[in-house]
Amino acid sequence: MLRRPRRNRKSSVVRAMVEETTLSPSELIYPVFITEGENKTVEIPSMPGIHRYTVDKLLDEIHTCMELGVRTFALFPQITEELKDSYAKESHNMNGLYIKAIRKIKEQLPDACLMTDVAMDPYSSDGHDGLVKNGQILNDETLEILGRMALAQARAGADIIGPSDMMDGRIGYLRNLLDDEGFINVSIMAYTAKYASAFYGPFRDALESAPKFGDKKTYQMNPANSREALIEADLDFEEGADFLMVKPALLYLDIIKLLNQNFDLPIAAYNVSGEYAMIKAASRNGWLNGEKAMAEALLSIKRAGAKIILTYFAKEYAQLKKNLG
């Protein structure tokens, strides 16, 4: 045998030398949940280890993560039911929970990079990402609301806007609006290929944001399709996105690879709540090694072509890296 592939696996030194993929905490984005009040952290039952934080507590959490090398945070608000309406007005209330939280974090921790969520669902009495009229999700009318939301976030100090709504034309609409208002340096991470997935369940528990009727199939993509992802990516590229995202991540590694091969923008992937919950549940039952499963899952997403990974494992992964030296 002239070819013995095992020679390149014979010791940890050789294995490290030939290792192709590495992942650093600086490439992770940590999604965090904000709730009203003070001095409270409430664990989300379907997401062990993940909490809703009041803003004061969130500042501590962000500070800890920054020391571990995780420096970008995707913020999601839990809005009380009384503040929800069909127009998601609370989403651009300059004195509302979310906008105040952005201000406060940027004021106290200016080096934290904040990615904000642009979609109606946390604030909508219908629980949909767009405006609902007669059971339909209206596209162009929604853009106006998303625009108000994005501008409020930019004014509060958002570094990256993350439209997660899947309305047509929103990237160009938001880019133009931000530019007209002078926010030329606010980035846009487009949720480019966002699928109508069963794996968002725990996230909807966390925000109490599940749709009140129907599903999201008229705006989120069909899990059966991949070619459509290229159309979405073309549009987002042309409309000025700075990053293209695939969501979920682990079940859509082929889509990550497809976008990475066809576009020169950095590709991000969202390792979603259900993917997190599966690994946590199995590891809590002693059915697999949670740390190893986490590291392997994240590495696989990177290997498929994602430069950036949004993951609830961000802090735990950074902690693990630090402990391993």
Residues forming contacts to ligand PBG in the complex (CB under 6 A) are: 119, 121, 129, 164-165, 200, 203-204, 216, 272-273
CB of 135 to ligand PBG, least distance (A): 18
Q: How far apart are CA 188 and CA 176, in angstroms?
A: 11
Q: How far apart are CA 273 and CA 281, in angstroms?
A: 12
Place of tokens 């693990």: 320
Query: Are the CB atoms for 113 and 140 separated by under 8 Å?
Result: no
Query: Are the CB atoms for 296 and 281 separated by under 8 Å?
Result: no
Which spans in 240-310 are helix H? Answer: 253-262, 273-284, 290-304
Active site residues: 194, 247
Query: Are the CB atoms for 157 and 103 separated by under 8 Å?
Result: yes
| Residue among 63 and 72 whose Cβ is closer to ligand PBG | 72
CB of 32 to ligand PBG, least distance (A): 11
Q: Is 103 exposed, middle or buried (0-12, 13-18, 19+ CB in 10 A)?
A: middle
> What are the binding residues for Mg(2+)?
232
Closest CA to 87 of 118, 117, 130: 130
| Residue among 142 and 164 whose Cβ is closer to ligand PBG | 164
Q: Is 26 exposed, middle or buried (0-12, 13-18, 19+ CB in 10 A)?
A: exposed
CB of 219 to ligand PBG, least distance (A): 9
| Number of CB atoms found within 10 A of residue 238's CB | 10
| Residue among 153 and 164 whose Cβ is closer to ligand PBG | 164
Find the radius of gyration of the CA atoms of the chain. 20
What DSSP character marks residue 72?
Answer: E
| Residue among 142 and 273 whose Cβ is closer to ligand PBG | 273
- Chain length of the chain: 325
CB of 167 to ligand PBG, least distance (A): 11
| Residue among 208 and 234 whose Cβ is closer to ligand PBG | 208
CB of 270 to ligand PBG, least distance (A): 6
